[in-house]
Chains A and B, each alone.
Chain A
Amino acid sequence: MLQALELAPEELIPRAHQLALKGWRFVTMTCVQVDSGFEVLYHFDRELEMEHLRIRVSKDQVLPSITPVYFGAFLAENEAQDFFGLKFENLSVDYEGRFFLTADSPVHPMTRTPTPEHGEKGEGTRDR
């Protein structure tokens, strides 16, 4: 497993401020669906050394956005909002679910049970 520091959602912003002051840059944010909700990983880098933070949230929990500290994170957070339905507060550029997806796309497609728009059960890749 990755060496990741486990944090509670409230500790995220203070930790991000500390990392920004010490010269770490933001690499990306990953969201994985697990049985109890979501696991959100933040990856940082300084001089080719990486540090990871892991936060576990339930499905409807609201996460604080780190865009006030790292503006570059707005892409990854909007993507997680579109694909997984994660909710953020204080997002500086908020597309409200329309960043990559349109009005007639499936809802939350990366989760294990996406809701297709037209009411039919979505199949995998085989269309034979």
Chain B
Amino acid sequence: MFEMLGNVIQNLFSAPATRPFPPVRREPFPGTRGQIQMDIECCIFCRRCEHHCPPDAIVVDRKDRTWLLDPNRCIVCGKCVQVCPKDCITMVGRFRSPAKGRIHEVRGEDDGREGRLETMKTTED
């Protein structure tokens, strides 16, 4: 019976095994695949990312100069990050927030210019 005693005392006086999420969050590891981010300024519309994307989530139009990523299809594999010749596409460690609705919206900082990035309205907006 007393074999358990060491374990019991250890469990009583050691720190809990879980962290109090959501107030305390863990920083993502370097290289964690969270979500795709795109810098539309440097895109040369070579369409290599569209060709290599496994679930066909990226649609590039060279004439209209648009680059669209469907976040519902994206499997965050990082193939586009690997093949982009100008390194415009980057992988960020933080995951996407849950989506509130299916509204396609144009992100603010690029309107007025030639390139657009279409995405979904999330709980962070």
Chain A residues within 8 Å of B, Cβ to Cβ: 125-126, 128
Contacts and interface: CB of A to CB of B under 8 A. Distances in A.
Nearest to B56: A126
A128 B59 CA distance: 11
A12 B32 CA distance: 52
Nearest to A128: B59
| Chain A contact residues: helix, strand, loop or mixed | loop
B104 to A, nearest CB: 13
A126 to B, nearest CB: 6
Contacts of A128: 59
Interface of B: 55-56, 59
B87 to A, nearest CB: 28
Contacts of B56: 125-126
Nearest to B70: A128
4 contacts: A125-B55, A125-B56, A126-B56, A128-B59
Contacts of B59: 128
A100 B59 CA distance: 34
Contacts of A126: 56
Contacts of A125: 55-56
B72 to A, nearest CB: 11
A48 B19 CA distance: 47
A126 B70 CA distance: 12
A52 B59 CA distance: 44
A126 B73 CA distance: 11
B59 to A, nearest CB: 8
Nearest to B59: A128
